[in-house]
A and B are shown apart, each in its own frame.
Chain A
Amino acid sequence: MSSGTIQALDGPATMKLEGVGIYLGQSQVLRGIDLDIQAGQTLVVIGESGCGKSVFLKLLIGLLQPTEGRVLFQDQDLKLLSEKRLMRLRLKYGYLFQSGALFDSLTVEENVAFPMKQQGIVSEETMRQRVAECLEDVGLPLSLWTRMPSDLSGGQRKRVGLARALVMQPAVMLYDEPTTGLDPIMTGVINDLILKVARSRPVTSIVVTHELRTLATVADRVIMLRPLARLESWESQVAFEGTPEALRKCPNPIVQAFLGGHSVAESAHPLPPIPDSAHVATPRGIQP
């Protein structure tokens, strides 16, 4: 496929990472990541702080470019796209930031309408309608729609951020630690929203988290990364790749240490059935 054209897309997108590595300044954050993300799948990325989870998300949307390897969106190499085409391609993504990243000077409604207004592709009426739909979908009460982001709680800001991410009907949703800093009740609400989005919309989801409850609620597939600072040059950065059920049974001591003795199955949410294709990684590399 030509790297210069951007495909029209109505359903969820596939994403692929081939030998991806990246340096930030002098230090390498990711190394040799190979990954296929199937259309419609919900991939959860876990790992200790500093293992490059957020960098991983930024590579997927082209906010950062890999130093080595390539990131493919529907077989298009993001690195080969011009800035203008990359900007246009990003409209097929939704990104929920850890802090919500709402624009301070805009109200809740204006924040959600922002991407449509900037693109100028829909009428005022359609825009209002779609904003209302998205805010209702995330369960934000009407009384908050005209408030400024500074007047909202952390959970409300995350909901608005999610509504803004969904308003352009993305093919890929990226969640950067969506439940960090939230109380257990709000964590459950956000997890249910992620699940609802994944089930009700044609979207591929990638969730970066270290919350086991989020993992148990939303994951179809899990990948666990390790900080490169603790690895030898021959060790794989991917400590585990497979289903949540396989993660629970994984004998790898690093995985078990991360799970902290708490079984994923002990979470409030039941795990999905185990698919056939789960493979477990040891510190020396991924093995079938």
Chain B
Amino acid sequence: MLGAVESAGSFAMFVAQVVFSIRHGFRWSTMGPLLVEIGFKSIGVVLFTGCFIGMVLAVQAHMQLAAYGAATRLGQMVNLSVIRELGPVLAATMLAGRVGGSISAEIATMRMSEQIDALSCLGVSPIRYLAVPRFLACLILVPVLTVFANFMGIVGGWLVATKIHGIDSYHYWQHASQSVDPWDHIMGITKALFFGGSIGLISCHVGLNASGGARGVGIAATRAFVISFLTIMMMDFFLGLFFSRITPFMSQIMGGSQ
């Protein structure tokens, strides 16, 4: 219990230091290579995941809807599920594994090989030099990659619906477009923003506090993924609850069909 409180306190201090460092003299030039590493190199895996989310969802949902004679509404179900929920959550989960694990292992290796101490000895803050750019890259890129995952999810759902289940493409898109409004996109992207920020912060914090040689690096990578994943699930629940309260009001304002 005491350990958990100590970890929470240490993480809170770390978050405060990251925020402070962004406001005081952060160098944007350090972001370039990270945008490529975290963003560009993750596009393939995110597109692949997104496509299969849509396809699996279409297969499962079709069985339910067809029983009620509402198979043409498949687009509505697939697109809403992908945009609001599955796109952000599964894209973030993939990135927690691919990016979070890699960030944590890299920083943990730097910790073990005294490179973090070397940074401090050279008058460079490890938080400013290592954590801030990685946090910002995750914060910016996870929502962008979620948009890609959503797009491919929608395409995957459409492919299964029209090519396998033989649903008319016109009806598929008609129901789909009537049911999704801008607020659904905002909800999904807002979730992705929170997920991205947490992946960046958790991975850097775990890496910076790693210990125990080569085994410690492996533990740090696993730990970063597990904590990020659990955090994503918890955040998804609480954000979902929050959005469910304000959605009727927001949809009305934005002129949606809900």
| Chain A residues near B (Cβ < 8 Å) | 58, 61, 63, 83, 87-88, 90-91, 93, 95, 97-99, 101-104, 114-115, 118-119, 164, 168
Contact = CB atoms under 8 A, between A and B. Distances in A.
B122 A114 contact: yes
A169 B172 CA distance: 71
Contact of A115 (B109, B114, B117, B122): B122
A63 B123 contact: no
Nearest to A161: B118
A-B pairs with the 9 shortest C-beta distances? Answer: A101-B118, A101-B114, A95-B121, A115-B122, A91-B123, A97-B114, A87-B123, A90-B123, A118-B124
B41 to A, nearest CB: 15
A115 B120 CA distance: 10
A200 to B, nearest CB: 22
A23 to B, nearest CB: 16
Interface residues of B, number: 14
Contact of B114 (A87, A98, A118): A98
B244 interface: no
A119 B123 contact: yes
B209 interface: no
B242 to A, nearest CB: 36
Contact of B113 (A87, A90, A95, A101): A101
Contact of A99 (B114, B120, B129): B114
Nearest to B112: A99
Nearest to B114: A101
13 contacts: A58-B117, A63-B120, A63-B121, A87-B120, A87-B123, A88-B123, A90-B121, A99-B114, A104-B109, A115-B123, A115-B124, A118-B122, A119-B123
B98 to A, nearest CB: 19
B117 A101 contact: yes
Contacts of A97: 114, 117-118
A83 B115 CA distance: 19
A103 B123 contact: no
Contacts of A88: 123
A99 B114 CA distance: 8
Contacts of B121: 61, 63, 90, 93, 95
Interface string B180-218: 000000000000000000000000000000000000000
A253 to B, nearest CB: 35
Contact of B115 (A90, A93, A104): A104
Interface in B98-134: 109-110, 113-115, 117-118, 120-125, 129
B123 A95 contact: no
Contacts of B109: 104
A258 B125 CA distance: 39
Contacts of A115: 122-124
A55 to B, nearest CB: 12
A105 B115 CA distance: 11
A93 B123 CA distance: 9
Given A90-B120, A119-B123, 15 more contacts: A63-B120, A87-B123, A88-B123, A90-B121, A91-B123, A93-B121, A95-B118, A101-B114, A101-B115, A101-B117, A102-B115, A104-B109, A104-B113, A118-B122, A118-B129
A53 to B, nearest CB: 15
A102 B110 CA distance: 10
A95 B115 CA distance: 12
Given A87-B120, A95-B121, A103 B114 contact: no
Contacts of A90: 120-123
Contacts of A118: 122-124, 129
A256 to B, nearest CB: 33
Contacts of B129: 118
Given A87-B123, A118-B123, A63 B118 contact: no
Contacts of B124: 87, 114-115, 118
